[in-house]
Amino acid sequence: MSQTINRRDLDFLIYEMLAVDELCEREYFSEHGRDVFEPLLDTAEDIALDHFLACAEAGDKHMAEVVDGKVKMIPEAKIALDNMFEAGFVAASLDNEYGGLQLPVTVANACMSIFQSANIGLCGLPLLTIGVANLINTYGNNEQKALYIPSLLSGNFYGTMCLSEPHAGSSLTDIRTKAELEEDGTYRITGNKMWITGGEHELSENIIHLVMAKIPGGPPGVKGISLFIVPRYQVNADGSVGEHNDVSLAGLNHKMGQRITPNCVLNFGDNNKCIGYLVGEPHCGLEYMFLMMNEARIAIGLSAVSAGYAGYLYSLDYARERTQGRLPDNKNPSNKMTPIIQHADVKRMLLAQKSYVEGGLALCLFASSLLDEEKTHPDESARLEARLLLDVLIPVVKAWPSEWCLEANKHAIQILGGYGYTQDYPVERLYRDNRLNMIHEGTNGIHGIDLLGRKVVMKNGAGFELFMGEIQKSIDAAAKHAALSEFVTSLQQAKQTVIDTTKVLTTAAAKGDVTVFLANSSIYLDMFSHLVLAWIWLKQAIAVQVGLPDAHDQDKHFYTGKMQACQYYFRWELPKIEAQAKLLSSLDTTCLDMPEQAFAG
Amino acid sequence: MKILVPIKRVIDANVRVHVKSDGSGVETANIKMAMNPFCEIAVEEAIRIKEAGHASEIIVITIGTSQCQDILRSGLAMGADRAILIETEAELQPLAIAKLLKAIVERQSPQLVILGKQAIDDDNNQTGQMLSALLGWAQGTFASKVVFNDGNVEVTREIDGGLETVSLQLPAIVTTDLRLNEPRYIKLPNIMKAKKKPLDILCPDDLGIDVNSRLKVLSIEQPAKRAAGIKLADVQELMDKLKNEAKVI
């Protein structure tokens, strides 16, 4: 049994569903190919098993803490991360100009999912570092790129994103951190930041914070937010580390899960000596951050998938070994007890998990492939289309796995019964680790508003239409395979349901009823996501039909499993959207109308 | 000084092996393959010797089908300088392999051949010793420590009674045991560089070696499943079973 993401599944997605090896015909990826991907995925598995999985339990039991003013983590964490940086997994997908290796993001993320399934908490630090390097690479000036990126990719520096403040989490418009221009062109930063993963630690010689702050006199609200590079220690022109930059640790948050990694409250400029360096133009900070958010949100989706996947694998193995009871047609107590995997209800919970985690993984790698298309497709209109489609899908990529792969973790615990509820087995930890993903990188509620209020209606609905067109293409491709006819019919109907429901909602919005339009956007997000996932399962089923005629025995089992999980998704999950569509189309105001005082509590 | 490192492609150590239904061998179709773990240790040791300044070039070599290029590329990505594949579809026994390696040694003139003590598929543990005999070179087998000095190499061997240290004059053969070192992880930049390192392909005929097997495999079967234990009434019954049933005393 696999202990990290199943390799056959990854190979299926990379080569059979997404044909990533064909990307390597493009100049940008010309140094890559299957002969690089395979040993790289092998290395990811080796390091993940030897170092990430090996310290997952210890990291949970010994939460990061402050000792003598310094953040202390278990020592195995640094060894694991050093191995990951040294092997090139952090530098993998960046441009080679500053030390990157130009690997397709799809493959880099497939590797990351292996690490995440072994230890999702520990992966937050390298993922943030990749995000910071990407952002500086896109919006920083040449001097900033040369000074910070090579050190970020090598692991000498780690990175953080400092957006939230104690009083302003989802509400970025209300942040108060201040950046005042100095005569030398730098800025003096003062303020407090909250929820900073990796805000302080001793894993690297420096930490590069990307801080959102307001320059006094700028426009109000989010239009007045600028973005600054604020190092923990000043960086000298030769890249060496200089004086402390007046960024101090105010405390750690004591978390439910992902406890191996410190999550910090930071104070900037307590002694008025904290210097920041503007990225790009003033007042464009939020725009820069959001342009980079797609990658970060795929990472969150993948993190949720990976924790769900790890629980699925563990509970599957347990169900094969654990014997309990007898089957309904054979209740004779003198017969041996049966492995619980043979009980119908256990199979249900396993198949539900499989359909969620494998569907989620396919979704996240498909989204990653859109980043590769956006960057390297030779045709400009195709690049723009990839971007537009990703913009529409990103709320789904972030929110759906965080809801439904958490549901998978719930099933994994259930399969282990009482044992699953104890700390002697990893499934309760996986649940706690995964619970964060509904919250950070925009709560799922925010993503519901983003999808319905922004993505569906943007550019006169162009993104929405593009997405529906892509579904139609898959339906047309699937129609060539007789084995897929049931799915073709169901998806066609589900697509129409979502189109009709969206029309009712946008018509209400056009009449000016914005509050009612957005009131049930979480439900809209779930309905829309179920359509997306059914489409992703159909894409997998098409790849199965292509591979099946030449399949070996082992592969036949694999393909049968895919088809059965696809059928589960279409028969058990997809029909849920009809009830949601009915509720949404009625413009129901039950929640909206509830008087605050009536909550009586 | 050159080091030659012969390596073998085997079923990945993490894969559960299945015997083919006709008993002719084990199932390898569509099964994940990898470099034999003992061979990885040999490559790692060669790289460490080179890093310590005792060697100038490392050549990895394997004998088998064209798919075996993948483990040669892994060896190159770990740090070997070039690779040789002797391409053949034939089923090879250790003696044929040792003869092919002897021919390569004569062409390439390495001072040290370092290889795994055995492969995890057939567990023969013969190739290094046979090569040593064919070449008339000193051998240090089952190495858990290799200290390299110019002109000779000290090898600490894992033997039944403990550890034995032998000093070998070069040229010499060393076969590696598990405790010798921990192989490094392959890094992405090195995987990319390895694609550009030279990989020569020969065939057994080029070397004038007859690789026909002297042994015939009659059948391969799964080891018998261990039977459940039974409870005995007393020592008398145990003695009886040992004598008459198991026939061990």
* Residue A179 and residue A145 in contact, taking contact as beta carbons nearer than 8 Å: no
What are the E-state strand segments in A459-564? none
What are the E-state strand segments in chain B? 2-6, 9-11, 33-35, 57-64, 82-87, 112-116, 138-149, 152-159, 162-169, 172-176, 199-202
User: CA dist B214 to A201, A370, B140, B208, Å?
Assistant: 63, 56, 27, 17
- Taking each helix axis from N to C end, the angle separating A380-416 and A458-478, rounded to the nearest 10 degrees, works out to 70
Q: What per-residue confidence (pLDDT) applies to A476? A: 98
- Interface residue B188 vs chain A (CB under 8 A): yes
* Residue A420 and residue A412 in contact, taking contact as beta carbons nearer than 8 Å: yes
Q: Determine which helix (DSSP H) or strand (DSSP E) holds A356, and give its type and residue range.
A: helix A344-376
Partners of residue A43 in chain B, C-beta under 8 Å: 185-188
Which residue from A535, A524, A525, A539 is spatially nearest to A490, judged by alpha carbons? Answer: A535
pLDDT at B36 over 80: yes
Closest approach of B81 to chain A, Cα-based (Å):
18
| Alpha helices (H) along B66-143 | 69-78, 94-108, 127-135
Neighbours of B233 (CB within 10 A): 7
At B159, is the secondary structure helix, strand, or coil? strand
Q: What per-residue confidence (pLDDT) applies to A330? A: 87
Partners of residue B228 in chain A, C-beta under 8 Å: none
Q: How far is CA A476 from the centre of its chain?
A: 30
User: CA dist B183 to A47, A242, B46, B75, B118, Å?
Assistant: 12, 37, 11, 11, 16
Partners of residue A44 in chain B, C-beta under 8 Å: none
Partners of residue A40 in chain B, C-beta under 8 Å: 186, 188, 191
- Cα–Cα distance, A512 to A501 (Å, whole number): 17
The answer to whether the CB atoms of B188 and A47 lie below 8 A apart is no
The answer to whether the CB atoms of A87 and B77 lie below 8 A apart is no
- Cα–Cα distance, A423 to B214 (Å, whole number): 57
Extract the tokens encoding B67.
């798919």
- If you ran DSSP here, which 8-state letter would residue B243 be given? I
CA angle A472, A476, A479 (to 5 degrees): 135
- Interface residue B191 vs chain A (CB under 8 A): yes
Per residue in A301-338, pLDDT (tens digit) is 999 999 999 999 999 999 999 999 999 998 899 999 99
Rg (CA), chain A: 24
Interface of A with B in 9-38 (CB under 8 A): 31-32, 35-36, 38
Q: What is the ipTM of this complex?
A: 0.92
- Cα–Cα distance, A36 to B185 (Å, whole number): 14
* Residue B115 and residue B177 in contact, taking contact as beta carbons nearer than 8 Å: no
Name the residue among A36, A38, A554 with its Cβ closest to that of B192.
A36
Q: Dihedral through CA A401, CA A407, CA A411, CA A417, nearest 10? A: 130
User: For the residues A156-166, what does the mean pLDDT come to?
Assistant: 96
* Percentage with pLDDT > 90 across chain A: 96
Amino acid sitting at position A64: A
- Cα–Cα distance, A112 to A106 (Å, whole number): 10
The answer to whether the CB atoms of B34 and A42 lie below 8 A apart is yes
* Percentage with pLDDT > 70 across chain B: 100
- Cα–Cα distance, A475 to A479 (Å, whole number): 6
pLDDT at B148 over 90: no
Name the residue among B30, B77, B191 with its Cβ closest to that of A552.
B30
The answer to whether the CB atoms of A555 and B30 lie below 8 A apart is yes
Per residue in B164-215, pLDDT (tens digit) is 999 999 999 999 999 999 999 999 999 999 999 999 999 999 999 988 888 8
Signed CA dihedral, A341, A345, A349, A354: sign only: positive
Q: What per-residue confidence (pLDDT) applies to B119? A: 97
Name the residue among B73, B74, B188 with its Cβ closest to that of A92.
B188
What is the homologous superfamily of the domain B2-244 according to CATH? HUPs (3.40.50.620)
pLDDT at B64 over 80: yes
Per residue in A522-545, pLDDT (tens digit) is 999 999 999 999 999 999 999 999
Q: What per-residue confidence (pLDDT) applies to A234? A: 97
Partners of residue B189 in chain A, C-beta under 8 Å: 88, 101
* Residue A310 and residue A257 in contact, taking contact as beta carbons nearer than 8 Å: no
Find the residue in A nearest to B187 (Cα): A87
The strand pairing partners of A249, in sequence order, are A266
Q: Is the peptide bond before B171 cis (omega within 30 degrees of 0)?
A: yes
The answer to whether the CB atoms of A40 and B77 lie below 8 A apart is no
Per residue in A206-264, pLDDT (tens digit) is 999 999 999 999 999 999 999 999 999 999 999 999 999 999 999 999 999 999 999 99
At A418, is the secondary structure helix, strand, or coil? helix
Closest approach of B13 to chain A, Cα-based (Å):
12
pLDDT at B151 over 80: no
- Cα–Cα distance, A496 to A380 (Å, whole number): 30
Find the residue in A nearest to B31 (Cα): A554
Q: What per-residue confidence (pLDDT) applies to B21? A: 85
- Interface residue B196 vs chain A (CB under 8 A): no
- Interface residue A83 vs chain B (CB under 8 A): yes
* Residue A193 and residue A242 in contact, taking contact as beta carbons nearer than 8 Å: no
Name the residue among B73, B77, B192 with its Cβ closest to that of A101.
B192
- Cα–Cα distance, A164 to A397 (Å, whole number): 22
Q: What per-residue confidence (pLDDT) applies to B216? A: 87
Partners of residue B195 in chain A, C-beta under 8 Å: 31, 35-36
Burial letters B81-97, b for 16+ CB under 10 A, else e: bbbbbbbbeeebbbbbb
What is the DSSP secondary-structure string of A536-594?
HHHHHHHHHHHHGGG--HHHHHHHHHHHHHHHHIIIIITTHHHHHHHHHHTT--HHHH-
Partners of residue A91 in chain B, C-beta under 8 Å: 188
Closest approach of B18 to chain A, Cα-based (Å):
11
Partners of residue A108 in chain B, C-beta under 8 Å: none
Extract the tokens encoding A353.
């998990």
- Interface residue A86 vs chain B (CB under 8 A): yes
- Cα–Cα distance, B17 to A46 (Å, whole number): 20
Sequence spans of domains, chain B = 2-244
The strand pairing partners of B165, in sequence order, are B156
Q: What per-residue confidence (pLDDT) applies to A598? A: 95
Burial letters A493-528, b for 16+ CB under 10 A, else e: ebbebbeebbeebbebbeeeeeebbbbbbbbbbbbb
Q: Average pLDDT, whole number, for chain B?
A: 94
Q: Determine which helix (DSSP H) or strand (DSSP E) holds A191, and give its type and residue range.
A: strand A187-197
Partners of residue B188 in chain A, C-beta under 8 Å: 36, 40, 43, 87-89, 91-92, 101, 103
Q: What per-residue confidence (pLDDT) applies to A552? A: 87
Interface of A with B in 96-115 (CB under 8 A): 101, 103
Name the residue among A32, A86, A555 with its Cβ closest to that of B187.
A86
The answer to whether the CB atoms of B195 and A36 lie below 8 A apart is yes
Q: Determine which helix (DSSP H) or strand (DSSP E) holds A27, and give its type and residue range.
A: none
Q: How confident is the model at residue B91 (pLDDT cuts 50, 70, 90)?
A: confident
pLDDT at A291 over 80: no
Q: Name A489's Cβ contacts closer than 8 Å, sequence gap at least 6.
A: none
Extract the tokens encoding A91.
């530098």
* Residue B76 and residue B207 in contact, taking contact as beta carbons nearer than 8 Å: no
The answer to whether the CB atoms of A36 and B32 lie below 8 A apart is no
Q: What per-residue confidence (pLDDT) applies to A232? A: 98
- Cα–Cα distance, A542 to A480 (Å, whole number): 9
- Interface residue A95 vs chain B (CB under 8 A): no
Q: Determine which helix (DSSP H) or strand (DSSP E) holds A208, and give its type and residue range.
A: strand A206-214
pLDDT at B150 over 80: no
Per residue in A107-145, pLDDT (tens digit) is 999 999 999 999 999 999 999 999 999 999 999 999 999
Partners of residue B71 in chain A, C-beta under 8 Å: none
Side-chain-facing half-sphere of A196: CA atoms under 13 Å: 32
pLDDT at B102 over 90: yes
The answer to whether the CB atoms of B185 and A32 lie below 8 A apart is no
Closest approach of A40 to chain B, Cα-based (Å):
6
Q: Average pLDDT, whole number, for chain A?
A: 96
The answer to whether the CB atoms of A87 and B73 lie below 8 A apart is no
Name the residue among B30, B186, B188 with its Cβ closest to that of A101.
B188
Residue with the two structure tokens 């980043």: A371
Q: What per-residue confidence (pLDDT) applies to B222? A: 86
Per residue in A416-443, pLDDT (tens digit) is 999 999 999 999 999 999 999 999 999 9
- Cα–Cα distance, B1 to B79 (Å, whole number): 16
Neighbours of A237 (CB within 10 A): 9
Q: How is chain A split among helix, strand and coil, in percent rounded to 5?
A: 65, 10, 25
The answer to whether the CB atoms of A39 and B195 lie below 8 A apart is no
Q: Name A123's Cβ contacts closer than 8 Å, sequence gap at least 6.
A: A52, A112, A115, A116, A303
- Cα–Cα distance, B83 to A127 (Å, whole number): 36
